[in-house]
Structure 1
Amino acid sequence: MHKLTRHICALAPLPSEITDRIELIPVGSFRLADKRGRQQMIFDPSTAASVIDLSFAMATGHVLPIDFDHRSLAPQGTADSRAAGWITAMQLEGDRIIASVEWTDDGRRALEGRAYRFLSPVFKTRPDGTVALIEGAGLVNNPALPELRQIASKDEHMDPIEQIAELLGLDAQAPDTIVERVGALCATETQMASIASAAGATGDALVTQVCARFTGAAEVDPGKYVPLSAFTDLQTQFASLQGEVSHGRAETALQAARDAGKLTPAMEDWATQLASKDLAEFDRWAASAPAVVNLGARKLAGQTPPARTDKLDATERQVASMMGVSQDAFLATRNASQKDA
């Protein structure tokens, strides 16, 4: 152990409220802010447990001292070496070592009076800068690395920014997003306050009072107003019923055109789309369209097939155009159907 180098550096500000759990030293790679000793330090997380065990094993009474301004490191009898507290346990939590502390009366008074604001751990490193032993800590006002975040019991003393981010469901490391969301909430609150002021409404029944002011009713009448959820549900049901009715009417019109011999299998897709989209337009077409030979085996209901000719009449040419087929193809199909009928 004689090759180890001792370091004294304030790493973190003390919490605003006295707590028995404080951040002692970070785990991983960290730097000192000043020029004291080696600037780059490493606390290997894989060795944290053994470093903690060794530190308590080598400590007098198996507790580590927290003093004032590291005075206990001065030659015996040359300085006030009173303890501000005693570290009774250390644990690895995330990227730091958390120490459990029993504060003395002197230490508690110093913290309550804000006489000291930083905790400075005392530790020893190997030549490569790896932390090998923790000897204790001191209350100081001259930090070597003050930018490290403050930590105490996370449940009791969470950083305010982290608390705000957690409440908003945002990342604490994205300050711009947090500011934007808070600004939007403030704007909404201001708008609601303006509405409440205009309505002269206060108290727990603010929403009811505002509704009453703008509707002119003393109370919201359940006979005139329904919950939004009920209204939305009714809209969905109505849209579904309306769709079913429209589909039924379209299918009835299509079947009537089939029975009248005006709708051939080749026209099914076109007619179905037209009836579904614009039933009135389909009805106008069905009223003026002539009966044509059914291309299937089904006979025309009560209709006499037109006489076979070698040319298309005006109605047949119109049907061929609507179907998108050439007149020759239509004529060939018609003649073949008449021959089979």
Structure 2
Amino acid sequence: MMNLTRHTCALAALPSEPAARVELIPVGGFRLADKRGQKAMRLDATDAAGVIATSLARATGGMLPIDFDHRSFAPQGSADSRAAGWITGMEVQGDRVMASVEWTEEGRRALEGRSYRFLSPVFKSWPDGRVALIEGAGLVNNPALPELRQLASKDEQMDPIETIAGVLGLSAGEPEKIVERVQALREAETQMASITRAAGVTGDDAVTQVCARLTATPAVDPSKYVPLSAFQDLQTQFASLQKTVGTDKAEAALQQARDAGKLTPAMEEWATQLASKDLAQFEAWAAAAPALVNLGTRTLAGREPPKKTAALDDTERHVASMMGISDEAFLASRNAAVKEG
């Protein structure tokens, strides 16, 4: 490949127990820590997938070697090129390219015995510093890229999304559910903070303190409160008393209307209902209604009984309208009452 420069640099410290997935090269801009550090290097996120595909396609057998001290890339015959492992796959994960590795027995012994501590990727770049091809990696002890984070164990190599999903009891393949659960937990945390602040409790056992207050029996001054059952009995008795008083008042008003000769037998049911439902309206009617019943030769309340005609007068029409009966029915009832009298 024309106009390409090969680089080697130690990326990260490896665990003593070889991991199946390791960081290989950063995505984005980076600088080497040795004399080459003045030159900016970068693997653009938009180019990373293409670089990975090209690198694996050009690799013999589709695998990239991990050797000792980059001996595989030294002039032929200058040193042995035994493999410490083989990179079988690569993928972008966040701001890193992660490599899937199959370690050889020699590579495992070197890492477990701490003979080697760092992994150094081998890559080629264009003159402008863009990574063009990943050729492999080597186990080294002279890191040239110390600012990148170290790899400490297999557990620390786990995808953070997988870790979060495991804690939440969800699948890492359902990111929308993970986001939904995290948001719900944040809202619950906010609400609980408001509750504890309002309750004036603090400390790790704040929730326990709030629950204790909610379940505690409040102190009650018996001189200021009565049992609910006694209050309900009192309400029932008061309602019964109100009904009795109302019935007595209605009956008194009805009897007064009878004594004044203003009620006929046919009007009793209507008058009773009206007096029971709206005593004030019945009393207003009784005050305006004429005497309809002939009580004999005696005067009614100091007045002579009105003389009846074959038709209703204005007052009788008003009474008939209030009673909701026709003029003819009212006239028939009036005449029958007069005849009976």
Interval of TM-score (by shorter of Structure 1 and Structure 2): 0.3 to 0.5
Q: TM-score, normalised by structure 2?
A: 0.48
Q: TM-score, normalised by structure 1?
A: 0.48
